[in-house]
Amino acid sequence: MEGKNWINGRLMGKTVALLSHALDFRSARQSVISGNLANVDTPGYRPQELSFDKALRNAVEKDGISLSKTDNRHFPNPGDPTTARGEHTLESLEGELSESNQLSIDREMAKMVQNNLLYEASAKLLAKKFDSLRMAIEGNRR
């Protein structure tokens, strides 16, 4: 009906869509890591990990413009307990039961630091992108 997608397509572009999605992923991953650390001493608990969905990665490479927040609702399995948000794979790590609790804490903490850094980097990059768009639109204020 409307032809081109002016805002998400032309104005914002792939960058905003990708960074926005990165933030979704990183904040979801933070809660997974949190669950692992809370249960580090729980007998029988298998640590979980969130991994970027390969299908999504392919979709992004082919046509990044379609990656807007509303598209998440169209991904399969919103009620599937093995997927967080339906587009990333939540998996229980096999063979981790024998690992000592101390190693688990070390590993999860390292993951958390990395995840935090990437989240904040994505947020900062997004802020910068918006900033530069604003400058481009308004330039010298009249």
Backbone phi, then psi, for 20, in 5-degree steps? -60, -45
As given in the structure block, the two tokens for residue 4 are 């081109």
Asked if residue 15 binds another protein (CB under 8 A), the reply is no
Q: In angstroms, what is the minimal distance from the CB of 61 to another protein?
A: 22
- Give the whole-angstrom CA distance, residue 78 versus residue 61: 23
Nearer to another protein, 55 or 130 (CB): 130
Query: Could you say whether residue 101 binds another protein (CB under 8 A)?
Result: yes
Interaction of residue 23 with another protein, rule CB under 8 A? yes
Helices 101-138 + 13-38 axis angle, to 10: 160
> Does residue 116 interact with another protein by CB under 8 A?
yes
CA nearest neighbour of 16 among 132, 104, 138:
132
Q: Of these, 14, 18, 45, 75, which contacts another protein (CB under 8 A)?
A: 45
**Do the Cβ atoms of 14 and 56 come closer than 8 Å?**
no
Query: Which strand (E) or helix (H) includes residue 90?
Result: strand 88-92
Q: Is 67 in the site for another protein (CB under 8 A)?
A: no
Chain residues that interact with another protein, rule: CB under 8 A: 2-8, 11-12, 16, 20, 23-24, 26-28, 30-35, 37-43, 45, 48, 69, 78-82, 84, 90, 101-102, 105, 108-109, 112-113, 116, 119-120, 123-124, 126-127, 130-131, 133-134, 137-138, 142
